[in-house]
Amino acid sequence: MRRLLQTTIAGSLPKPAWLAEPLALWAPWKLEGDALALAKRDAVRLVLFDQEHAGIDIVTDGEQTRRHFVTTFIEGLDGVDFANRKTVRIRNRYDADVPMVVGPVARRHPIYVDDAKFVVGETRRPVKYTLPGPMTMVDTLYDGHYKSREKLALVFAEILNEEARAIADAGVATVQFDEPAFNVYFDEVRDWGVAALERAAKGLSCTTAVHICYGYGIKANNDWKKTLGDQWRQYEQTFPLLAKSSIGQVSLECANSHVPLELIGLLAGKDVLVGAIDVATDRIETPEDVAATIRAALAYVPAERLFPCTNCGMVPLAREVARGKLSALAAGAALVRRELSPAG
Ligand code: ZN
C-alpha cells in the first residue's frame, strides 16, 4: 500500500547566494552564460539534497532555474516583448514590471523540458514540476494584442498543455499549475478560468495539480490579507468548481491562516495538498504544530487523499529557515502517520 501522508512543497525554495541575491523575490542572476546554466543545475542538486535529507517524499527543483514563476515562462514564448517591460498592477495588489504581449503568442521550442529531465535524473523520488496557470499568466503581463483576458488565457492554456505533456513525458510524477489569481477573480474563474486550467492539463500522462494560495509572505500580500476579515472564504467559490473538474489535486493554504478548514470538504474526491507550513514568517514550526494542522484537516479529507505541504513557495526565506521548515513538515507528517498506523 502507498505510504500515507506523503509530503511535498508548493514549489519554490531559496536560491544560494552565489546564484541570486538572497531574501528577495525575482532577484537577478549573479552569473551569465554557461556559468549560469551550470550554477542553476548545482542549485537544483542542493535543493534536492535538502528535501531528501529532510524527508520530503515528492520533491521539486525548488524553481532554481527561474527568476520569476510566471514571467520566466512567458519570456520563452514568441509574441512577447520582454525588453520593453510595462508596470502593471498584479492580483489587484502590487505593481510589477512585466513583459508585454505584442503579437500572437506561440511556443516555438520547449521551455523547461530539459530542466525537468535533469531534476528527474538527479533523484529517485517522485518529482513534481510547477508551471504557471493560464489565468495567472494573463494577470502577470501587459496585453497589447489580444485585448481579452479570456482569449489570451485559452491561447496560453494550449501552449501550457504542449509544455506540460513534454514535461510529463520526461518522467515527472505530477505537473502542478500555480493559480494564485483564482483567489482574486471569482467571476473569471467561473466563466473561463477552470476551463482554461483543464485545457492546460488535458491528456497528461501524470498526476495533475493546481496550487491556489494567498501569496508569498511579502508586504503587499500581508497588507491584503488584513483586509479579508476573520474568515477567508475565497476558496468557497472555487472549490466546488474544481471538485467537478478533471484536475487531480488541489494545493491550498491552511497553516496559521484564516481559511476555515471545513472548506476542504468542498473538494470531495480530490487529493488535497494541505499547507501546514506558514511561509509568511521566519518562525520555524515545530513538528507538533504541523501535526496539529494535519489532524485538523483530517476531519475533512481522508488520509489517503491528504498530502502535507507548504502554504506557498519559500523562495523569499533564508535558506536555513526553509531547511528547518522542510524538516518540521516531514517530522510532523511522521507523527500523524504513526498515529494512523501504529504498526507501520
Ligand atoms: Zn502560492
User: Domain containing 45 — which CATH number?
Assistant: 3.20.20.210
Number of structural domains the chain divides into: 1
Which phi-psi region, left, alpha or beta, contains residue 157 (left: φ > 0; alpha: ψ -120 to 50)?
alpha
The answer to whether 10 and 213 are in contact (CB under 8 A) is: yes
Please indicate, yes or no, if residue 17 is contained in any of the structural domains.
no
**Separation between Cα atoms, residue 310 and residue 145, nearest integer Å:** 37
Read off the C-alpha cell for 278.
Answer: 506558514
The answer to whether 236 and 263 are in contact (CB under 8 A) is: yes
pLDDT of residue 24: 85
Please indicate, yes or no, if residue 9 is contained in any of the structural domains.
no
Give residue 344 CA to ligand 1 midpoint distance, Å.
33
Please indicate, yes or no, if residue 328 is contained in any of the structural domains.
yes
Please indicate, yes or no, if residue 87 is contained in any of the structural domains.
yes
Give residue 203 CA to ligand 1 midpoint distance, Å.
25
Query: Which range marks the domain in which residue 276 is found?
Result: 33-340
What pLDDT tens digit does each residue of the chain (344 aa) get?
689 999 999 999 999 999 999 988 889 999 999 999 999 999 999 999 999 999 999 999 999 999 989 989 998 999 999 888 889 888 888 888 888 999 999 999 999 999 999 999 999 999 999 999 999 999 999 999 999 999 999 999 999 999 999 999 999 999 999 999 999 999 999 999 999 999 999 999 999 999 999 888 788 888 888 898 889 999 999 999 999 999 999 999 999 888 999 999 999 999 999 999 999 999 999 999 999 999 999 999 999 999 999 999 999 999 999 999 999 999 999 999 999 987 65
Give residue 312 CA to ligand 1 midpoint distance, Å.
4
pLDDT of residue 35: 98
Give residue 224 CA to ligand 1 midpoint distance, Å.
14
pLDDT of residue 286: 98
Please indicate, yes or no, if residue 98 is contained in any of the structural domains.
yes
Give residue 275 CA to ligand 1 midpoint distance, Å.
10
Give residue 12 CA to ligand 1 midpoint distance, Å.
9
**Separation between Cα atoms, residue 42 and residue 31, nearest integer Å:** 13
Give residue 274 CA to ligand 1 midpoint distance, Å.
12
Give residue 195 CA to ligand 1 midpoint distance, Å.
20
Beta strands in 162-287 (DSSP E): 174-178, 207-211, 249-253, 271-275
Give the predicted TM-score (pTM) of the model: 0.96
Please indicate, yes or no, if residue 3 is contained in any of the structural domains.
no
Please indicate, yes or no, if residue 103 is contained in any of the structural domains.
yes
Please indicate, yes or no, if residue 155 is contained in any of the structural domains.
yes
Of 57, 85, 66, the C-alpha closest to 28 is 66
- The helix/strand/coil state of 130 is strand
